[in-house]
Amino acid sequence: MSSPRKAGANASNQWQGIKALPNGVQTDPPSAAHIIADKIDREGPISLGDYMAIANGVYYASKDPLGEEGDFVTAPEISQMFGEIIGIWLADLWLRKGSPDHCHYVELGPGRGTLASDALRSMAKFGCHPTIHFVETSPVLKARQADLHPDAIWHEDIASLPENGPLLIVANEFFDALPIEQFVSTASGWRRHMVMRDRSKFVVIPSEETTEDRIGSSTSGFPEDTILERSPVSVEITGNIANRIAKQGGSLLIIDYGYSRPGTGSTLQAVKDHMPISPFDSPGTCDLTAHVDFHTLANIARTRLLAIHGPAEQGQWLKSLGIDQRAESLMVASPKEADAIVAAHQRLTHVDEMGRLFQVMAATAIDWPQPEGFSYGGE
């Protein structure tokens, strides 16, 4: 696995550097650090997944973390070109399927709603006017989304999504925010990474009991101290979505950083103010993420008989769908913006920026057309 990072921040990947939990500081509502410390005091060590779920739940509920003034920048916030290309990709699929009625645009973790605005504007140009569904848990971000999309319907999870038509589902930088578990090989077998308190700090310790059966793949032949990551939440969400798409038609488009072959090592990272920090410094005040396991998510979707396309590199995918031409036409329309458009295009597509780190994978219903943009890469 390559070095993990959010767009716009270099993050290292380490357990070290754990600083003191602010002792005796009681905030209202309680900080994630206090909720976690309290849970550990009551129940003993908690799994890394529980730690991450609490930390990110508090983090996303308490602020809008996006943009230069926030903690990290995402592709749709860099340029309208990103969402527009996704909209064209979706409209093309929909048109070639014969423009089915009752189509639903679904976005998982839509942030500020920017991607949806750009994508839906593009889709409308092709006569595609889906209903809008957002799966979002953060009240702060829901409010931002409502400013741009007053007609959207919000869902706490995917169970309540409509059942009466194809689902065109988009997830940009959503899966990386979902909780992961880590398993470490020791001389006495595989153990789960647990989060514990050491006086006023959070530290990671191996579980007392071995957990061989929880890992779900061959675990022999790994050297001691090997770390394997699993994201049961991501697997469950992908499985449920794939069931829906298999039944209702449509597609799931995932754009994120991750790996398409089984890998080892910790990819857990924390970003605050565009800088990497220790994931255990200040839970709830930084964005905790892990690399997305595209290999496993693809396999889950395949078991539901969806067709998998990619992963392809984001830069190549955007170029094959016409981002160069779109940048040129935007520059002709707004010559004063030319430098900013060139810079955004570079950031989204260049191999040293987001172009290679970010991967694009699609899962489509078996009777839907082959989507564009995947003649490169892929498993």
Indicate the SS3 state at residue 299: helix
Check binding of 240 to ligand SAH (CB under 6 A): no
Residue 95, number of CB atoms within 10 A of its CB: 14
Q: How far is the CB of 136 from ligand SAH (least distance, A)?
A: 5
Residue burial 228-243, b: 16+ Cβ < 10 Å; e: rest: bbbbebbbebbebbbe
Check binding of 74 to ligand SAH (CB under 6 A): yes
Check binding of 110 to ligand SAH (CB under 6 A): yes
Indicate the SS3 state at residue 156: coil
| Most distant CA pair in the chain, distance | 65
Check binding of 177 to ligand SAH (CB under 6 A): yes
Could you tell me how many residues of this chain bind ligand SAH (CB under 6 A)?
A: 19
Report the number of secondary-structure helices (H) and strands (E) in the chain: 13, 16
Instruction: Give the CA distances from residue 215 to residues 54, 86, 347, in Å, rounded to whole numbers and listed in that order.
Output: 22, 35, 37
Binding mask 126-165 for ligand SAH (x = CB under 6 A): ---------xxxx--x------------------------
Q: How far is the CB of 204 from ligand SAH (least distance, A)?
A: 22
Q: Segment near ligand SAH (CB under 6 A), from 22-30, 71-79, 91-99, 196-204?
A: 71-79
Q: Which is nearer to ligand SAH, 172 or 314 (CB)?
A: 172
Q: Provide the terminal-to-terminal Cα distance of the chain, rounded to the nearest Å.
A: 16
The one-character DSSP state at 158 is G
Closest to 142 in 3D by CA, of 178, 163, 111: 111
Binding mask 13-52 for ligand SAH (x = CB under 6 A): ----------------------------------------
Tokens 């997944």, residue?
49
Q: Which is nearer to ligand SAH, 6 or 34 (CB)?
A: 6
Check binding of 234 to ligand SAH (CB under 6 A): no
Show the tokens assigned to 9.
């921040």
Distance CA 193, CA 230 (A): 11
Closest to 35 in 3D by CA, of 12, 58, 5: 58
Q: Which is nearer to ligand SAH, 84 or 368 (CB)?
A: 84
Distance CA 92, CA 46 (A): 46
Q: Which is nearer to ligand SAH, 118 or 173 (CB)?
A: 173
Check binding of 109 to ligand SAH (CB under 6 A): yes
Check binding of 172 to ligand SAH (CB under 6 A): yes
Check binding of 115 to ligand SAH (CB under 6 A): yes
Task: Point out the residue whose Cβ comes nearest to ligand SAH.
Answer: 109
Q: Which is nearer to ligand SAH, 211 or 238 (CB)?
A: 238
Check binding of 321 to ligand SAH (CB under 6 A): no
Closest to 88 in 3D by CA, of 174, 166, 158, 168: 168
Q: Which is nearer to ligand SAH, 86 or 363 (CB)?
A: 86
Check binding of 173 to ligand SAH (CB under 6 A): yes
Q: Which residues bind ligand SAH (CB under 6 A)?
A: 56, 60, 66, 74, 76-77, 109-111, 115, 135-138, 141, 172-174, 177
